[in-house]
Structures are given as C-alpha cells and as structure tokens.
Copies of this chain bind each other. A is one copy, B any other.
Amino acid sequence: MGVEALFEPRSIAVIGASEKPGKIGYAVMKNLVEYGYEGKIYAVNVKGVEIKVGNRVFKSYKSILDVPDEVDMAVIVVPAKFVPQVVEQCGQKGVKVLPIISSGFGELGEEGKKVEEQIVETAHKYGMRILGPNIFGVVYTPKKINATFGPTDVLPGKLALVSQSGALGIALMGWTILEKVGLSALVSIGNKSDLDDADMLDYFENDDNTGAILIYMEGVKDGRKFMETAKRVSMKKPIIVIKAGRSERGAKAAASHTGSLAGSDKIYEAAFKQSGVLRAITIGEAFDWARTLSNLPEPAGENVVILTNGGGIGVMATDAAEEEGLHLYDNLEDLKVFANYMPPFGSYKNPVDLTGMAGAEGYEGAVKAALENPNMHAIAVLYCQTAVLDPRDLADIVIREYNASGRKKPLVVAIVGGIEAKEAIDRLNEEGIPAYPEPERAIKSLAALYRWSNWKNRQKKE
C-alpha cells in the first residue's frame, strides 16, 4: 500500500536537497545522516551540487530518474511549482511514498487545492502514496529515520505522534526531547491530500514498536472513516487526541484559522467518546497521559496502591484518585506487609505512608511487595525529596525492581523536589517508566489508562 515505505524504506531520496545550512533541503539531509539512518540516502538537486554533512559527501543527481537504484521514499522539498513534475518522475522511477514538505497548495485556497488533487491523481496512477503537502516530515525511531527539518535528537520510545499543524508539530517535537517523551514515530500530515490520520492509525495498529498514538488535530475530512478506524484501533492501542476549539469563541477562532466548521465540537466530542479516544485538554495533559499509555501494560484489576514518604503528597494523590474514580485498595490483611518497611509511626493504610524517614531499604521493600502481590493491580510511587534518600537513588531502585518484576502491572512515579528530583524524573522517563513532578499528574495519567482499559472491557462485553 505504500504506507509501510514511510516507516521502513530501504532507501530514501531527498528531492531538492541543498548544500546550504539553513535551507530545508540541507536540514533534512543532515537529520537523515546524523540520526543514523542505515539505508541508502540519495540527494537530488537540479544543479547537481555536492552536499557535505559531517564527514560524509553526497554527490547529487539532477533528477530522481538518474538515481542508479530503487528508491522507496522520496522526500520532496522543491518549490510548489516544480512539485507536479517531480511527482510524475517519482512515479516513473517506481518510488513508493512521497512526503511532500513543500508548501503553497491547498492551504492557500481553491487553486492550490486543485493542484493537490492532480498530484494525488498522478501518484495513485503509479501506485504511490502522498504525505502532505505542507509538512515538516516524518520520523521513525526503530529504523533511525529522521526525515524532518526539525530537531535531530528525538528520544526513541513507544509513542507515535501525529500532527496536523506543522508549526505546532515542530514545537512539540522539541518538547518531547526536552521532556523525555520517547517516540516511535512522528508524522506531520499537513494538508492530508492523500494519507490522513486514519491511515496512520491503520499502520500503528499493527506496529509492535508503538504502544499508544497521540494526534494533534485541527479537523478531520472524513469523520466516518476516522471514527471507524479509531474505534477498531482503540481496541488494541490507546489513542489520545488534542483538538482545540471547545468554547464557542475558540471554535470560531479555529474556523477562521483552519477553515473547519465552527460549532461542530460537540460532534467531535461524541465521536471521540464512542470510539474510545481519550481527549486531552492541554498539551501537557496529553503528554502526561501518553507517557503512561505508551509504556505501561493494562491493569488486571481495579486495586490501586499509593506508596509515599510524605503525608501531604499522599493526601494530594488520594484527592486526585477519588476525583478520577480510581479505587484505592483497602484490604488491611494484604496492606499489612508494608508495615515491614516503615517505622512504627508510619501507616500501612492506603495511601501507605512510609514516613519522611523512608530510605532506600524502605522503598525497595515496599515497591517489591506491591509488585509481587497479585491483588495490587496498579502502583503509584510518590516521593518528596528529603536528605534521607537521593531521588536519583530512588529512581534506580524503581527501575531495578520494575524491570525485575517483568513490568506486568502499571507503575507510575511522582517526585517533588529540585534539580536532583528533575534528574531522577528524567532518568525514569528515559527508561519508559512514567514519572512526574507532581502527585496529581501521576494519578491522572494512571486514571487515563484505566479509562481506556475500562472502555475496552465494556466494548468486549457488548
């Protein structure tokens, strides 16, 4: 179908590759090389210039037709007016998929839209698929592909991120690097002339490298197709959507920005609910949930256990759990095990208060006990930075115990504190253990996992 070639191409050509740093045609070459793509890379440039990236030198071909090899994916960055001709040549060459970064099409109005349609027609004639136009590219970390003009060092992980907005998409790409959100893929879908959100869902549904999908959406063209696909995919993997325009005024502003219909927000809301899609209100919330949903297994039951060294953050987490409808495990016979890991004035009632004196041994024992007990289905480990235990050591303990347990139940972490706490949080996130600087954010992310899991279970019964 061609979509696979977007993520697993055996060779990539950049049409409009440039030798000048600062140009998009250079940035894409640079990212492909520096992110470590192991397939063949071909540069196409009408002037036939030499392109240097680090200590690699690429000769460039004047046309894709001159490339002496099969090309699976051709990234197109030439000016809009040359795109139809380039697409035709790609078809003749037998390219499979075309991410078209070039802008100046449907986003400018009716005329550009017509050109878009012609391009798609040409592509389909040759069995090619088009991503875009008007995009910033595509990333697929399992194959070390960064074919974008955004930042280079995307953190590998299990979240597939799909953005309709180019500008916000690049900004979010930077955000994932800063905030240690690991990505399997990042796809800019732009004008969606051919491939759209639903096509991406189709691919990620069966992609073992992807655990969850996050879509920044401004609007969908084919609502029914999206909904049906989303509903089917949600049975396998969680889908998170950010779609602004909830308020009347926000919807109006969105309409003038994207040309989507105002007032249709209720329809989206209902469609998301029906198809198991989790709608996040803010970017922060979306990524908070994504950390948990892309990395953790589903809980086997409703019993949540909160472990803490601070009464205050324990209470905050409990408030959040109650408000989110989570069930704190109450069986004192089982919870009593935690008494072994706390001083006499601690409390093994859930939230389990290991007290401010809790050190490495206390946390290690308590985390292990919670992981081992089959009646405890999900764990929130909270830590308020003290002099007793360096938060980075806590992070190492959690990583070790969670790995040793086989990661069979969901476990989230919250660490409140300063620089060391931030380092500990980053370390955990880099290991795919969702960690947050506030107890409520950990609990709400766990709640999002339960919301998805419960929706799935209800669907199965129906």
A residues contacting B by CB (< 8 A) are 149, 151, 165-168, 170-175, 177-178, 216, 218, 244-250, 253-254, 256-258, 281-284, 309-316, 318-319, 321-323, 328, 347, 349, 351, 353, 356, 384-387, 416-422, 437-438, 440-441
Contacts and interface: CB of A to CB of B under 8 A. Distances in A.
Contact of A312 (B151, B216, B421, B440): B216
Given A167-B356, A282-B438, 19 more contacts: A167-B386, A168-B312, A168-B416, A171-B417, A174-B419, A175-B417, A175-B437, A216-B312, A218-B311, A218-B312, A244-B312, A246-B319, A249-B318, A257-B312, A257-B314, A257-B315, A257-B347, A258-B311, A283-B438
Given A165-B310, A256-B349, A257-B312, A386 B170 contact: yes
A338 to B, nearest CB: 14
B178 A319 contact: no
B247 A167 contact: no
Contacts of A310: 165, 167-168, 171
Nearest to A385: B171
A174 B417 CA distance: 5
A385 B170 contact: yes
Contact of A168 (B173, B218, B384): B384
A183 to B, nearest CB: 13
B311 A171 contact: no
A319 B247 contact: yes
A168 B422 contact: no
B318 A257 contact: no
Contacts of A328: 249
Contact of A249 (B167, B175, B322, B387): B322
Given A319-B244, A421-B174, A314 B165 contact: no
Q: Which 9 A-B pairs have the closest CB atoms?
A: A174-B418, A257-B311, A247-B322, A250-B319, A244-B315, A250-B318, A171-B417, A171-B385, A244-B316
Contacts of A437: 175, 284
Given A249-B328, A256-B349, A438-B284, A421 B171 contact: yes
A386 B169 CA distance: 10
A348 B175 CA distance: 28
A42 B387 CA distance: 25
Nearest to A386: B167
A387 B386 CA distance: 42
A386 B253 CA distance: 21
